[in-house]
Amino acid sequence: MNLPIKLISTDFDGTLFAEFENPPIPTRFAELIARLQQRGAKWVINTGREMSSLMESLARARLAVQPDFLVLVEREIYQHDGVRYVPVEPWNTACRQDHEALFLRVRPQVSGLTDWVNERFDATVYEDAWSPFCLIARNLPDAEAIHARLEGFCRQFPGLAVVRNDVYARFSHVNYNKGTALAELMRRLALSSAEVLAAGDHLNDVPMLQRRFSRHLVAPANAIPAVKELVASQDGYVSRQACGHGVVEGMERVLQL
């Protein structure tokens, strides 16, 4: 297989999927992915979403292609076996065990953090299956202020990290993110960073938008300034087109199409 890229890692919301476009994922992207898959390349959607939410949006997009892999909640890996997506082991088991051990130490202190947020901001704070602390801030300035407090909180617990996208945030284990999950796929597929393309638009994509994981980096026009700067500083491609259209443009540039 003589391809400059053999693994394509794309964020979903804002990078590939545009909720109010029709179709929400460009046909041009699906056609290019199909051609690459026929030649042996693999595609992974690397997202903060969980399975049911992602599957619902993929069904609405009516794609003629399927991702070979999924990275869900920025950490768990699933592979398509021809029928369904199955957990990649031992990665997922280790991921769950490490998070359970970490959150066991963190959970007793979360109530104080929740009180601090509720006393100062009009925000939604809750616990779910993935984190003992999840946040939906009312606006970006509030999200920035709360994010700073969360980072200070994380310094009290070795291994704890805050993952943020826009006004949303949650806790995670520092060893599990979009970058380390991508590295695990590279290991399994015996690929080097020179054979990987990664595309993202927000803060939770930063861990995978690193040249040690991907030589070919893409940011669509709607990416936040910090992501555009990060991609540009590593000789990546910042498109003038938004969402999936920008991703396709970046892929075509690498493939010299």
* pLDDT tens by residue, 35-49: 999 999 999 999 999
- Torsion (CA) 226, 233, 25, 138 in degrees, nearest 10: 0
How far is Cα 57 from Cα 41, in angstroms, rounded to an integer? 23
Q: Which tens digit of pLDDT belongs to each residue from 115-171? A: 999 999 999 999 999 999 999 999 999 999 999 999 999 999 999 999 999 999 999
Q: What is the pLDDT of residue 1?
A: 53
pLDDT at 257: 67
CATH classification (class only), 7-74+177-255: alpha beta
Model confidence at 2, pLDDT cuts 50, 70, 90, reads confident
What pLDDT was estimated at residue 3? 87
Domain positions in the chain? 7-74+177-255, 92-173
Query: For the chain, what is the radius of gyration of the CA atoms?
Result: 18
Nearest residue to 162 via CA among 178, 182, 147 = 147
φ/ψ of 88, rounded to 5, equals -90, 120
Measured CA to CA in angstroms, residue 211 lies from 167, 206, 229 at distances of 27, 11, 14
Helix H, strand E, coil C: the string for the chain is CCCCCCEEEECCECCCECCCCCCCCCHHHHHHHHHHHHCCCEEEEECCCCHHHHHHHHHHHCCCCCCCEEEECCCEEEEECCCCEEECCCHHHHHHHHHHHHHHHHHHHHHHHHHHHHHHCCCEEECCCCCCCEEECCCHHHHHHHHHHHHHHHCCCCCEEEEEECCEEEEEECCCCHHHHHHHHHHHHCCCHHHEEEECCCHHHHHHCCCCCCCEEEECCCCCHHHHHHHHHCCCEECCCCHHHHHHHHHHHHHCC
pLDDT at 230 over 70: yes
The CA distance from 132 to 55, in Å, is 24
* Percent over 70 (pLDDT), the chain: 99
